[in-house]
């Protein structure tokens, strides 16, 4: 299908203008060659050129857009969808490529795509050498009062992470008020929402009994700063240090029933684990598991959507800015 000449001219100006940053010189060469082939309607050739350039510089929106556009024109829908997901992953609603990308999505019947998932523009994932991720689920333990259920600053979080690595520190923690014996199994059920990622070999994880070496630690808190908040994830990104990601889950769901409490914990665990493995922002769609918890209804069941899956696939298909 032909695109409007005005839209094409506008997008070509984006691609050729000074607003584009090309990380590698050869990506810039491929971009120019791809544009030439595209203008000559050599879509298969353009598809190959843009696809290579998009991989070399995955955070460049123009490259992702043209990689997607040329792929769809060449009948390569798989490459087109992947490039669109990389674009949506790193672009906010203010990006000049957002509306053209949404138009492509609708035109070619793409049902699911990623959403913006970078914190301060930083792309952060777990490295392959850290797999399988070790997950420790505490049996109802709460963090020390000075840290429990609070929004910690960098210094406080660093102190807490260092303390949790000390032998015997976790074992010295006290039981959280409101914790019930079935809550830990609800956490595992929630984390099971991400088992598809292991099947696709995006990442792997396992449960461990030793908190010292765990990558992700799960603790409990009766409440949080926001009354309806069901959990939070605390972490700092770095390249050389080995600091754990901390998940806290709420235990007090009064006056709701135990069934509602269990479902809420399952939802919260699944959601917070998404943050812990790299999806640092919330989906704008209230239907996605990674939507802001303010959209949720007490007792409702939330599950992984194709949008959530596309987001994680895109995250782990691109060389990150930094690692956990």
Q: What is the pLDDT of residues 107-140, one digit of tens each?
A: 999 988 899 998 877 888 999 999 999 999 999 9
Q: What is the pLDDT of residues 165-176, one digit of tens each?
A: 999 999 999 999
Of 214 and 13, the structure prediction assigns the larger pLDDT to 214
Topology of domain 124-323 in CATH is Collagenase (Catalytic Domain) (3.40.390)
241 falls in which pLDDT band (50, 70, 90)? low
Give the separation between CA 238 and CA 57, rounded to whole angstroms. 22
User: What's the pTM value of the predicted model, to 2 decimals?
Assistant: 0.85
Q: What is the mean pLDDT of residues 83-90?
A: 90
CATH 1.25.40.10 location in the chain: 5-107
67 falls in which pLDDT band (50, 70, 90)? confident
For residue 282, count other CB atoms closer than 10 A to its CB: 20
Give the separation between CA 41 and CA 203, rounded to whole angstroms. 39
Q: What is the pLDDT of residues 16-48, one digit of tens each?
A: 333 334 344 577 788 888 888 888 888 888 888
Asked whether residue 10 carries a pLDDT value surpassing 60, the answer given is no
**Helices and strands, counts by H and E, the chain:** 11, 7
Please give the mean pLDDT across all residues of the chain.
85
Asked whether residue 94 carries a pLDDT value surpassing 60, the answer given is yes
Q: Output the CATH code of domain 5-107.
A: 1.25.40.10
Q: What pLDDT is recorded for position 191?
A: 96
User: In the block, which residue shows the tokens 């994680």?
Assistant: 312
Helix (H, G, I), strand (E, B) or coil at 116: coil
Q: 72: closest CA among 27, 106, 21?
A: 106
Half-sphere exposure of 96 (CA within 13 A, CB side): 11
Q: What is the pLDDT of residues 243-295, one digit of tens each?
A: 899 999 999 887 676 777 888 899 999 999 999 999 999 998 888 999 987 67
- Percent of the residues in the chain that have a pLDDT greater than 90, as a whole number: 47
CATH 3.40.390.10 location in the chain: 124-323
User: In the block, which residue shows the tokens 């605390």?
Assistant: 234
């Amino acid at each position: 299908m032909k695109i409007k000449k005005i839209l094409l001219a506008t997008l070509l100006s984006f691609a050729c203008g000074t607003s584009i940053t090309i990380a590698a010189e050869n990506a810039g060469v491929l971009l120019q060659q791809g544009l030439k082939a595209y203008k000559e309607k050599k879509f298969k050739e353009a598809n190959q050129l843009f696809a290579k350039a998009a991989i070399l510089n995955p955070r460049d929106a123009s490259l992702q857009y043209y990689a997607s556009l040329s792929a769809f024109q060449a009948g390569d829908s798989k490459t087109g969808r992947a490039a669109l997901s990389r674009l949506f992953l790193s672009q906010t609603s203010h990006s000049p490529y957002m509306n053209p990308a949404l138009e492509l999505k609708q035109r070619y019947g793409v049902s699911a795509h990623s959403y913006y998932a970078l914190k301060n523009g930083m792309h952060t994932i777990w490295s392959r050498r850290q797999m399988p991720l070790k997950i420790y689920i505490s049996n109802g333990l709460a963090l020390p009062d000075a840290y429990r259920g609070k929004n910690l600053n960098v210094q406080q979080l660093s102190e807490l992470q260092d303390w949790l690595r000390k032998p015997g520190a976790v074992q010295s923690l006290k039981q959280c008020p409101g914790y019930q014996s079935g809550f830990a199994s609800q956490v595992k059920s929630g984390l099971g929402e991400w088992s598809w990622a292991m099947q696709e070999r995006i990442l792997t994880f396992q449960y461990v009994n030793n908190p010292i070496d765990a990558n992700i630690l799960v603790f409990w808190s009766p409440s949080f700063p926001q009354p309806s908040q069901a959990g939070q994830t605390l972490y700092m990104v770095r390249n050389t240090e080995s600091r754990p990601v901390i998940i806290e889950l709420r235990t007090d769901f009064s006056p709701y029933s135990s069934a509602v409490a269990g479902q809420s914990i399952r939802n919260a665990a699944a959601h917070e684990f998404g943050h812990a493995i790299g999806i640092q922002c919330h989906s704008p769609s209230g239907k996605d598991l990674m939507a802001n918890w303010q959209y949720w209804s007490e007792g409702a069941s939330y599950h992984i959507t194709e949008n959530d899956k596309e987001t994680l696939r895109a995250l782990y298909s691109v060389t990150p800015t930094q690692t956990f």
